Amino acid sequence: MWGTARRIIIGAPLATQRMHLERVGILGGLAVFASDALSSVAYGTEEILYVLGAGGLPYIIPLGAAVVILLSIVATSYRQTVMEYPSGGGAYVVARENLGVTASRVAGAALLTDYVLTVAVSVSAGIAAITSAWPGLLPLKVWLALGAVLLIMVVNLRGVRESAGAFAGPVYAFVFTMLALVVAGLWKASRGELGLAVVPPSVTAAAAAPTAVSFFLVLRAFSSGCATLTGVEAVANGVQAFRQPSGRNAARVLAILAAMLGTMTMGIAVLARLVQAHAHPDETVVSQIGRQVFGTSALYFVLQVLTAVILILAANTSFAGFPRLAAFMAEDGNLPRQFANLGDRLVYSNGIIALAVVACALIAGFGGEVTRLIPLYAVGVFTAFTLSQTGMVRHWTSNRAPGWRLKSLVNGVGATVTGIVLLVVAVSKFTQGAWIVVVVVPSFVLVFRAIHSHYEDLTRRLALDPQAGVEQTRAPSSLNLLLVAKMDRGTLEGLRCLKTLKGPSRALHIGIADHDHAPLLEAWRRYEPEIPLVIIPSPYRNLVQPITDYINKARDEEGFETIKVVIPEFIVERWWESLLHNHSALWLQLILRYVPGVTTVHMRYRI
């Protein structure tokens, strides 16, 4: 049943030879890797207004322009990165190759943290767009967000091409609708037909009151608006997902992404100023603009639905970037090796599932509130931006390839600007929650170091000793044990398996109840007169401890180096019948795997 459900949900397995067929082109790459950055149009301007409060409208256009300029610098810098490192890996690989292991671990920790936050923020913002149009759904917003994360996880488990095909339509529909909103809004404004946003009386009263906007408050607002740049790094991490030439195609996606995102960001900032939109929890800024441009026509509801969809699909960028970055780090021994394993559909399934679990926990913990999650945002991504561009400067100055001075200047400007923004974000948002990321990233670095040390130590201890030669491969003395619950057909199946093994054999019965064992001994002698049956009483009804004690005694006192334990288990015909049995054989197998020198033989037989 599980196998059938798995095939229906995820699809049939794909052969490794099909890897090159699962890559995406420019249009598919935009749908998979650019949805996060494009979706930030829906909340970037709003977060600036949330920080500045009612008196922040005069600053919205200058701050929007500053974000667009920063976007241009970062996109230009990363175009050089993807051209020079077409194997992918982004900031992690660039830092590893040019700045050292510690810098690469910091970049990896920052990006992994940012990917998780991207899922939580984008999905929560998408659900907020839905509840703005349909307030009756507000009590269900956390459950809606969790369901959206699980849906995106399933689509990504089906493969890169599947996710590109499923999400391309909504992504491009959102871009078209948002550009139409900007054009229509500016057209109505030029004709004097653009009205003012209707906001609650409390917000209106606050807007009428004089508001002091300090320089520090402007910096905080700018740092919130910088969340618009999250997602740009994902293209650099996923270069290998593009068709050949992968580096050039990724660079083109970055250029198109920057052009579309910059246009929409400035357009929304200008319209927010013109309609005098205000940030408040009951309705998003984009919704306020949409009502004035489209009224309450079907176009307004299309805008809200597409905004919600693109915000939710923005999580898809993380589901494309997180598993690939985790795979790079696992190959280097900084994360568990399981993250480097390709699943049935040629995607890194373990990374996809891990991201979904952590993001769901974050959404549930913060109640799906975007404003509570935003302060944690952007610290990680700007740390990665800075390390990546600094590493590229080191790269150009080291190899001195043609044009290295200009390329080094571009990346140097990118590193300087993103480094300044990182300080601004970390300082201005520290008390609002950024301290969590500041603590989490170094903690992750320590975890990566511990994992890497474990793998290095394990490799050293498992290495062959060339001096020992053939002595290392001599056959050890081994004892075979059959666990016997009672005398039935299952025990006879176990006996047949036991007799195929080399070495001395015994049967072991744990008497967990105060019963007369004479009938068992008599039946045993009748069916098996040669192999001895050892009965060990267990007055405390413990099954595992007497078995492990006997194994340790056989190894320490009798000199056996290995113990093979045969565990019979019957298999029922229907899946629901298995729920009626205690599965002690499986439990024993799990426990005995941690006993040194023990091999378990799980002998299954069908009833």
* DSSP line for 18-67: GGGGG-B-HHHHHHHHSHHHHHTHHHHHHHHHHHHGGGGGGGHHHHHHHH
Judgement on whether residues 247 and 171 belong to the same structural domain of the protein: yes
Cα pseudo-dihedral 155, 156, 159, 165, rounded to 10: 60
Judgement on whether residues 100 and 190 belong to the same structural domain of the protein: yes
In a domain, 185, yes or no: yes
Task: Report the pLDDT value the prediction gives residue 433, as an integer from 0 to 100.
Answer: 67
Q: Count CA atoms closer than 13 A to 213's CA, side-chain side.
A: 20
Task: Report the pLDDT value the prediction gives residue 462, as an integer from 0 to 100.
Answer: 77
Judgement on whether residues 203 and 98 belong to the same structural domain of the protein: yes
Judgement on whether residues 26 and 174 belong to the same structural domain of the protein: yes
Judgement on whether residues 420 and 484 belong to the same structural domain of the protein: no
What's the residue count for the chain? 607
Q: Which of 36-40, 97-101, 198-202, 278-282 has the highest mean pLDDT?
A: 97-101
Q: Which residues constitute the domain of residue 482?
A: 476-606
Judgement on whether residues 408 and 481 belong to the same structural domain of the protein: no
Q: Is 138 exposed, middle or buried (0-12, 13-18, 19+ CB in 10 A)?
A: middle
CATH number of the CATH domain containing 419: 1.20.1740.10
Counting the structural domains of the chain, the total is 2
pTM: 0.74
In a domain, 468, yes or no: no
In a domain, 541, yes or no: yes
Distance (Å, whole) CA 346 – CA 353 = 14
- pLDDT tens for residues 96-154? 989 999 999 999 998 898 888 888 887 887 787 677 767 888 888 888 889 989 988 98
Query: Is residue 450 predicted with pLDDT exceeding 90?
Result: yes
In a domain, 516, yes or no: yes
> Predicted confidence band at 201 (pLDDT cuts at 50, 70, 90)?
low
- pLDDT tens for residues 556-607? 888 888 899 999 888 877 777 777 777 777 888 888 888 888 888 888 877 7
Judgement on whether residues 105 and 145 belong to the same structural domain of the protein: yes
CATH number of the CATH domain containing 498: 3.40.50.620
Place of tokens 């913060």: 366
> Predicted confidence band at 208 (pLDDT cuts at 50, 70, 90)?
very low
- pLDDT tens for residues 494-537? 899 999 998 899 999 988 766 778 888 888 988 888 899 999 88
Cβ within 8 Å of residue 299, ≥6 positions away: 177, 290
Domain boundary among 423, 455, 487: 455
Q: Is 372 exposed, middle or buried (0-12, 13-18, 19+ CB in 10 A)?
A: middle
Domain boundary among 455, 488, 514: 455
Tokens describing residue 164: 């590109």
Judgement on whether residues 494 and 442 belong to the same structural domain of the protein: no
Beta-sheet strand order (sheet of 598-606): 533-537, 505-511, 478-483, 562-571, 598-606
Judgement on whether residues 162 and 192 belong to the same structural domain of the protein: yes
Distance (Å, whole) CA 254 – CA 76 = 8
Judgement on whether residues 211 and 274 belong to the same structural domain of the protein: yes
Mean pLDDT score across all residues of the chain: 83
Distance (Å, whole) CA 512 – CA 522 = 19
- Classify 479 as helix, strand or coil: strand
Query: Is residue 20 predicted with pLDDT exceeding 70?
Result: no
In a domain, 10, yes or no: no
Whether the link from the prior residue into 139 is cis, omega within 30° of 0, is no
In a domain, 235, yes or no: yes
In a domain, 17, yes or no: no
In a domain, 33, yes or no: yes
Judgement on whether residues 513 and 408 belong to the same structural domain of the protein: no
Q: Where are the beta strands (DSSP E) in 73-199?
A: none
Judgement on whether residues 78 and 205 belong to the same structural domain of the protein: yes
